[in-house]
Amino acid sequence: MKYDIHGPFEITRSGNLVDRAAKAKRDFWENVDTKVEGLPDAVGCYVFCVGKKPWYVGLAEKQSFKKECFQPHKINAFNSALDKMKGKPYLVFISKLTPNDHFAKPSVNGHKATKVLEDMLIGMALAKNDRLENIKGTKFMKELVVPRILNTPQGKAKKTSVQFLKKTLRT
């Protein structure tokens, strides 16, 4: 399974919040489509960031990015993040590709690999921001402890073991 990363794409604000106006959303998707033709109708994962800090990781598999990203509860999560941090809001898209390198389309059955990718991205985002706005899929990641790797308690883990593992897993 192949994926490709696109963005960041700046989201228009109305005051300190995401602009909910139909025109703002239409302009956003036209900009995305101009830069990466067909991306609004693709599926995969997306990350909402304020500046360079991730605040929400989402999944579009049964509907396209265009139909998924600005659902009311997503905008509420985005606005909650904007309330906590100053900066420009962005979306980054990780689109699923077909074997012929075209964008994958929504599927009634979803895309299993994309769900796995979402979980991995949530874990990575939590490592950068423990106030991530996601509710679904974060409880386990917040409770999982691997010393010096994930949710490290103070004074734990042998430094040489951790360094070896990190070097082994690093790309």
Q: What CATH number does the domain containing 76 carry?
A: 3.40.1440
108 plus 156 within the same structural domain: no
Q: Are residues 20 and 94 in the same domain?
A: yes
| Pair 24, 61 in one domain | yes
Distance CA 20, CA 14 (A): 8
Q: Taking a C-beta distance cutoff of 8 angstroms, is the pair 6, 92 a contact? A: yes
3-class SS string, 102-151: CECCCCCCCCHHHHHHHHHHHHHHHHHCCCCCCCCCCHHHHHCCECCCEC
Q: How many domains does the chain have?
A: 2
Based on the domain organization, do 69 and 100 belong to the same domain? yes
The answer to whether the pTM exceeds 0.85 is no
- Residues of the domain holding 163: 146-171
Q: Do residue 87 and residue 163 come from a single domain?
A: no
d(CA 63, CA 124): 24
Q: For the residues 36-44, what does the mean pLDDT come to?
A: 97
Same domain, 76 and 120: yes
Tell me: do 31 and 93 sit in the same domain: yes
On whether both 128 and 162 belong to a single domain, the answer is no
Where residue 128 falls among pLDDT bands split at 50, 70, 90? confident
pLDDT value of position 9:
96
154 and 96: one domain?
Answer: no
Residue 10 has pLDDT above 60, yes or no: yes
Residue 93 sits in the same domain as residue 19: yes
Mean pLDDT of 85-105: 94
Residues 133 and 151 in one domain: no
